Amino acid sequence: GAVVSQHPSWVICKSGTSVKIECRSLDFQATTMFWYRQFPKQSLMLMATSNEGSKATYEQGVEKDKFLINHASLTLSTLTVTSAHPEDSSFYICSADPPRRWSSYEQYFGPGTRLTVT
Amino acid sequence: DQQVKQNSPSLSVQEGRISILNCDYTNSMFDYFLWYKKYPAEGPTFLISISSIKDKNEDGRFTVFLNKSAKHLSLHIVPSQPGDSAVYFCAASAQGGSEKLVFGKGTKLTVNP
Protein backbone atom coordinates (compact mmCIF):
# COMPACT_ATOMS: atom_id res chain seq x y z
CA GLY A 1 0.00 0.00 0.00
CA ALA A 2 0.91 3.64 -0.29
CA VAL A 3 3.10 4.99 2.49
CA VAL A 4 3.51 8.61 3.46
CA SER A 5 6.05 9.59 6.07
CA GLN A 6 6.52 12.75 8.07
CA HIS A 7 9.53 14.04 9.91
CA PRO A 8 9.84 14.88 12.69
CA SER A 9 7.04 13.11 14.52
CA TRP A 10 7.20 15.71 17.26
CA VAL A 11 9.08 18.91 17.84
CA ILE A 12 9.33 21.48 20.60
CA CYS A 13 10.58 24.92 19.69
CA LYS A 14 10.85 28.33 21.27
CA SER A 15 8.61 31.19 20.35
CA GLY A 16 10.00 33.18 17.45
CA THR A 17 11.93 30.35 15.85
CA SER A 18 11.08 28.49 12.64
CA VAL A 19 10.33 24.82 12.26
CA LYS A 20 10.39 22.70 9.10
CA ILE A 21 8.24 19.61 8.69
CA GLU A 22 8.86 17.16 5.87
CA CYS A 23 6.29 15.00 4.12
CA ARG A 24 7.42 12.20 1.82
CA SER A 25 5.55 9.74 -0.35
CA LEU A 26 7.70 6.63 -0.09
CA ASP A 27 6.42 4.34 -2.82
CA PHE A 28 4.60 6.58 -5.24
CA GLN A 29 4.96 9.96 -6.85
CA ALA A 30 2.55 12.65 -5.79
CA THR A 31 2.07 15.78 -7.83
CA THR A 32 -0.29 17.03 -5.16
CA MET A 33 0.12 16.95 -1.41
CA PHE A 34 -2.02 18.52 1.26
CA TRP A 35 -1.25 20.02 4.65
CA TYR A 36 -3.76 19.84 7.48
CA ARG A 37 -3.75 20.87 11.09
CA GLN A 38 -5.85 19.41 13.82
CA PHE A 39 -6.65 20.95 17.18
CA PRO A 40 -7.77 18.70 20.03
CA LYS A 41 -11.25 17.30 19.49
CA GLN A 42 -11.54 19.20 16.22
CA SER A 43 -11.67 18.20 12.63
CA LEU A 44 -8.81 18.10 10.20
CA MET A 45 -8.57 21.57 8.73
CA LEU A 46 -7.01 21.89 5.29
CA MET A 47 -4.33 24.55 5.33
CA ALA A 48 -2.99 24.38 1.82
CA THR A 49 -2.62 22.33 -1.31
CA SER A 50 0.94 21.77 -2.39
CA ASN A 51 1.58 21.28 -6.10
CA GLU A 52 4.91 20.04 -7.38
CA GLY A 53 6.75 22.71 -9.26
CA SER A 54 4.31 25.50 -8.56
CA LYS A 55 3.08 27.68 -5.73
CA ALA A 56 0.91 26.26 -3.03
CA THR A 57 -2.76 27.14 -2.83
CA TYR A 58 -3.70 28.33 0.63
CA GLU A 59 -7.10 28.09 2.25
CA GLN A 60 -8.85 31.21 3.40
CA GLY A 61 -7.47 32.49 6.66
CA VAL A 62 -4.13 30.71 6.42
CA GLU A 63 -1.16 33.07 6.34
CA LYS A 64 1.03 32.11 3.42
CA ASP A 65 3.98 34.08 4.77
CA LYS A 66 3.80 32.25 8.05
CA PHE A 67 3.29 28.74 6.72
CA LEU A 68 5.75 28.33 3.87
CA ILE A 69 5.19 25.32 1.64
CA ASN A 70 7.66 23.94 -0.84
CA HIS A 71 6.99 20.97 -3.10
CA ALA A 72 10.34 20.60 -4.75
CA SER A 73 9.99 17.04 -5.98
CA LEU A 74 7.31 14.46 -6.68
CA THR A 75 7.98 12.76 -3.37
CA LEU A 76 8.69 15.62 -0.98
CA SER A 77 6.75 18.57 0.36
CA THR A 78 7.87 20.72 3.27
CA LEU A 79 5.95 22.98 5.60
CA THR A 80 7.91 25.65 7.44
CA VAL A 81 6.25 27.40 10.34
CA THR A 82 8.03 30.74 10.54
CA SER A 83 8.30 32.83 13.69
CA ALA A 84 6.31 30.25 15.60
CA HIS A 85 4.06 31.30 18.46
CA PRO A 86 2.34 29.21 21.13
CA GLU A 87 -0.94 29.41 19.23
CA ASP A 88 0.74 27.54 16.37
CA SER A 89 1.04 24.52 18.60
CA SER A 90 -0.97 21.82 16.91
CA PHE A 91 -0.90 18.47 15.16
CA TYR A 92 0.15 18.92 11.54
CA ILE A 93 -0.69 16.17 9.08
CA CYS A 94 0.18 15.87 5.42
CA SER A 95 -1.44 13.71 2.80
CA ALA A 96 -0.64 12.79 -0.75
CA ASP A 97 -2.78 12.17 -3.78
CA PRO A 98 -2.04 8.82 -5.39
CA PRO A 99 -1.62 8.56 -9.15
CA ARG A 100 -5.01 8.66 -10.86
CA ARG A 101 -4.28 5.40 -12.61
CA TRP A 102 -4.88 3.76 -9.24
CA SER A 103 -8.57 4.50 -9.87
CA SER A 104 -9.15 5.67 -6.37
CA TYR A 105 -9.51 9.04 -4.79
CA GLU A 106 -8.53 8.47 -1.22
CA GLN A 107 -5.62 10.51 0.02
CA TYR A 108 -2.87 8.77 1.93
CA PHE A 109 -1.95 10.45 5.17
CA GLY A 110 1.30 10.75 7.00
CA PRO A 111 1.52 9.95 10.71
CA GLY A 112 1.46 13.60 11.70
CA THR A 113 3.82 15.97 13.51
CA ARG A 114 3.08 17.31 16.97
CA LEU A 115 4.42 20.86 17.24
CA THR A 116 4.69 22.51 20.63
CA VAL A 117 5.82 26.12 20.80
CA THR A 118 6.98 27.29 24.21
CA ASP B 1 -20.17 26.96 7.93
CA GLN B 2 -19.63 23.29 8.55
CA GLN B 3 -20.33 21.41 5.34
CA VAL B 4 -19.77 17.96 6.80
CA LYS B 5 -21.28 17.21 10.17
CA GLN B 6 -20.80 14.33 12.53
CA ASN B 7 -23.22 15.17 15.29
CA SER B 8 -22.22 12.39 17.67
CA PRO B 9 -18.84 13.11 19.21
CA SER B 10 -18.71 9.65 20.75
CA LEU B 11 -20.26 6.21 20.53
CA SER B 12 -19.86 3.18 22.75
CA VAL B 13 -20.85 -0.35 21.72
CA GLN B 14 -20.30 -3.89 22.93
CA GLU B 15 -17.95 -6.22 21.12
CA GLY B 16 -19.79 -8.25 18.51
CA ARG B 17 -22.61 -5.74 18.10
CA ILE B 18 -23.13 -3.31 15.25
CA SER B 19 -21.58 0.16 15.29
CA ILE B 20 -23.37 2.81 13.26
CA LEU B 21 -21.62 6.11 12.66
CA ASN B 22 -23.53 8.91 11.00
CA CYS B 23 -22.56 11.83 8.82
CA ASP B 24 -24.57 14.63 7.23
CA TYR B 25 -23.50 17.06 4.56
CA THR B 26 -24.91 20.30 3.24
CA ASN B 27 -23.09 20.88 -0.04
CA SER B 28 -25.03 19.31 -2.89
CA MET B 29 -21.90 19.41 -5.06
CA PHE B 30 -20.31 16.65 -2.98
CA ASP B 31 -20.39 13.41 -4.93
CA TYR B 32 -17.69 11.29 -3.33
CA PHE B 33 -17.54 10.31 0.31
CA LEU B 34 -14.91 8.62 2.40
CA TRP B 35 -14.48 7.29 5.90
CA TYR B 36 -11.16 7.45 7.68
CA LYS B 37 -10.09 5.89 10.95
CA LYS B 38 -7.65 7.67 13.21
CA TYR B 39 -5.75 6.60 16.29
CA PRO B 40 -4.32 9.23 18.67
CA ALA B 41 -1.12 10.87 17.44
CA GLU B 42 -1.37 9.10 14.09
CA GLY B 43 -2.53 10.14 10.66
CA PRO B 44 -5.92 8.97 9.38
CA THR B 45 -6.11 5.71 7.46
CA PHE B 46 -8.58 5.18 4.68
CA LEU B 47 -11.41 2.74 5.37
CA ILE B 48 -14.02 2.84 2.65
CA SER B 49 -15.50 5.21 0.12
CA ILE B 50 -18.66 5.60 -1.91
CA SER B 51 -19.53 7.48 -5.04
CA SER B 52 -22.86 9.25 -5.35
CA ILE B 53 -23.88 6.90 -8.14
CA LYS B 54 -24.18 4.17 -5.53
CA ASP B 55 -26.16 3.90 -2.33
CA LYS B 56 -24.14 1.14 -0.70
CA ASN B 57 -20.59 -0.11 -0.65
CA GLU B 58 -19.25 -3.03 1.34
CA ASP B 59 -15.78 -4.08 2.34
CA GLY B 60 -15.62 -6.91 4.82
CA ARG B 61 -17.07 -5.78 8.13
CA PHE B 62 -17.52 -2.23 6.89
CA THR B 63 -20.51 -0.99 4.90
CA VAL B 64 -21.20 2.59 3.93
CA PHE B 65 -24.72 3.68 3.04
CA LEU B 66 -25.51 6.88 1.16
CA ASN B 67 -28.88 8.62 1.10
CA LYS B 68 -28.48 11.44 -1.38
CA SER B 69 -31.92 12.92 -0.89
CA ALA B 70 -31.30 13.24 2.83
CA LYS B 71 -27.65 14.21 2.33
CA HIS B 72 -26.76 11.56 4.85
CA LEU B 73 -24.31 8.71 4.99
CA SER B 74 -23.54 6.13 7.58
CA LEU B 75 -20.81 3.64 8.32
CA HIS B 76 -21.80 0.26 9.70
CA ILE B 77 -19.26 -1.98 11.38
CA VAL B 78 -20.39 -5.54 11.97
CA PRO B 79 -19.31 -7.22 14.15
CA SER B 80 -17.53 -4.54 16.15
CA GLN B 81 -14.17 -5.46 17.63
CA PRO B 82 -12.13 -3.75 20.38
CA GLY B 83 -9.49 -2.91 17.78
CA ASP B 84 -12.07 -0.77 16.00
CA SER B 85 -11.89 1.72 18.86
CA ALA B 86 -10.68 4.95 17.25
CA VAL B 87 -11.93 8.26 15.93
CA TYR B 88 -13.81 7.95 12.66
CA PHE B 89 -13.87 10.87 10.25
CA CYS B 90 -16.33 11.32 7.45
CA ALA B 91 -15.01 13.26 4.45
CA ALA B 92 -16.60 14.55 1.28
CA SER B 93 -15.34 15.75 -2.05
CA ALA B 94 -16.76 17.16 -5.27
CA GLN B 95 -15.90 16.51 -8.91
CA GLY B 96 -15.95 12.76 -8.47
CA GLY B 97 -13.41 12.90 -5.70
CA SER B 98 -10.82 15.06 -7.40
CA GLU B 99 -11.60 18.14 -5.32
CA LYS B 100 -10.19 18.73 -1.85
CA LEU B 101 -11.57 16.70 1.03
CA VAL B 102 -13.81 18.35 3.60
CA PHE B 103 -13.81 16.54 6.94
CA GLY B 104 -16.33 16.25 9.72
CA LYS B 105 -15.23 16.62 13.34
CA GLY B 106 -15.09 12.91 13.92
CA THR B 107 -16.83 10.39 16.16
CA LYS B 108 -14.89 8.56 18.82
CA LEU B 109 -15.91 4.91 18.80
CA THR B 110 -15.24 2.74 21.82
CA VAL B 111 -15.86 -0.98 21.50
CA ASN B 112 -16.04 -2.62 24.89
CA PRO B 113 -14.93 -6.25 25.29
CA angle, A67 as apex, A77 and A95 as ends, to 5°?
35
Q: What is the pLDDT at residue A30? A: 86
Name the pLDDT band for B14 (thresholds 50, 70, 90): very high
Residue of chain B minimizing CA distance to A42 = B105
Asked if B46 and A108 come within 8 Å (Cβ–Cβ), the reply is: yes
pLDDT beneath 50: ranges in chain A: none
| Three-state secondary-structure class, residue A69 | strand
CB-based contact, A107 to chain B, within 8 Å = yes
Q: Which member of A49, A106, A112 has the closest CB to residue B43?
A: A112
Q: What is the pLDDT at residue B34? A: 94
CB-based contact, A111 to chain B, within 8 Å = yes
- Within 8 A of A4 by CB-CB distance, chain B residues are 43
- Within 8 A of A51 by CB-CB distance, chain B residues are none
A-B Cβ pairs (cutoff 8 Å, strict): 51
Asked if B105 and A91 come within 8 Å (Cβ–Cβ), the reply is: no
Residue of chain B minimizing CA distance to A115 = B41
Q: How far apart are CA A9 and CA B20, in angstroms?
A: 32
pLDDT digits (tens, 9 = 90+) for B32-90: 999 999 998 888 999 999 999 999 999 999 999 999 999 999 999 999 999 999 999 99
Q: What is the pLDDT at residue A79? A: 96
One-character DSSP codes across A2-52 = --EEEE-SEEEE-TT--EEEEEEESSS--SEEEEEEE-TTS-EEEEEEEET
Going by DSSP bridges, is the β-strand pair B10-14/A113-117 parallel, antiparallel, or unpaired?
unpaired
Q: What is the pLDDT at residue A101? A: 56
Asked if A43 and B49 come within 8 Å (Cβ–Cβ), the reply is: no
Q: In the 8-state DSSP scheme, what is residue B42? A: S
* CA distance readout (Å), A7 to A19, A24, A77, B70: 11, 9, 11, 41
Asked if B45 and A109 come within 8 Å (Cβ–Cβ), the reply is: yes
Q: What is the pLDDT at residue B99? A: 74
Asked if A34 and B89 come within 8 Å (Cβ–Cβ), the reply is: no
| Pair A10, A2: CB distance under 8 Å | no
Q: What is the pLDDT at residue B42? A: 86
Mutation target among A105, A109, A113, A115 for the B interface, most CBs of B within 10 A:
A105
Q: What is the pLDDT at residue A37? A: 94
